[in-house]
Amino acid sequence: MSLECLSSQRSFGGWHKRYRHRAASLGCDMVFAVYLPPQAEMGLPLPVVYWLSGLTCTDENFMQKAGAHRVAAELGVILVAPDTSPRGEDVPGDPDGAWDFGLGAGFYVNATEAPWAEHYRMYDYVVDELPALIEANFPASDQRGISGHSMGGHGALICALKNPGRYRSVSAFSPICHPMDCPWGEKALSRYLGPDRAAWRAWDATALIADAPERLPMLIDQGAADGFLAEQLKPEALQVAAEAVGHPLTLRMQPGYDHSYYFIASFIESHLRHHAQAMAVSVAIR
């Protein structure tokens, strides 16, 4: 598959690069960012952490604001950040121009309803197409971790819960834990999947956890001063569901922190070390 390099910058001894390619699962061109740590130049396969961003974001938010390159360079971990939705002239957005649905708000599901079903298959893209592309074109192993923020935290949790053995680790910042029971989730799921709420359960981490075929430990950081906490995020629902079935979940409520990338930048190092430990990555000496 052809990759067009859009930009390339040196960072902490490695390279931050942005690429465009034609995504078969989405029927449009997509852009993703990849950080290749210094160890990538040795040609040995390295583990990959996939980062899923939140509403309105693109691949650029995490790479520019999270401060993750330094730790990834130390650990020898590749970082990959896709866009948050399909894009292009033929891709429909919210008819009212709202920011919380459509372009920039793919919700990491496979849509079944017109007109969304033709392009909005972010789940297939994130779980299958993008990793295959990364592993075919970069020195990437099949050791994968997945993380994300807000809508992307929701995406990370469902991708891990629905795919036993595919990921070695999972974490999230301020995830939408129970989209069936919050305004953002109800809006997105009802349009992408239709009015039958039973179909929504396959895309809700709180609903999925009871029957998850793998008990992959979850690490979640949540800002206690997050303005979206009570109405949209609902980590307590996921915690109750996890405790009911003994699913390992570390939920850390961080006093004073909000929903911003200041919060993510403050704790991204511990998340990357969580992934590195799960993927048995030795700390590299630069």
The secondary structure of 215-258 as a DSSP string is ---EEEEEETT-TTIIIII-HHHHHHHHHHHT--EEEEEETT--
Is 259 annotated as catalytic?
yes
Helix and strand counts by DSSP (H, E) for the chain: 9, 9
Q: Which of 11, 85, 147, 150 is catalytic?
A: 150
Active site residue 258: no
Q: DSSP string spanning 73-122?
A: HHHT-EEEEE-SS--STTS---TT--TTSBTTB-TT-B--STTTTTT-BH
Q: Which of 16, 154, 259, 271 does the annotation list as catalytic?
A: 259
Whether 226 is a known active-site residue: answer: yes
**CA–CA distance from 161 to each of 74, 114, 137, 189, 249 (Å)?**
29, 27, 27, 18, 13
How far is Cα 51 from Cα 60, in angstroms, rounded to an integer? 11
Residue pair 259/228 in contact by the 8 Å Cβ criterion: yes
Q: Which residue has the tokens 């295959």?
A: 132
7 exposed, middle or buried (CB, 10 Å; 0-12, 13-18, 19+)? exposed
Distance CA 3, CA 77 (A): 21
Active site positions, annotated: 150, 226, 259
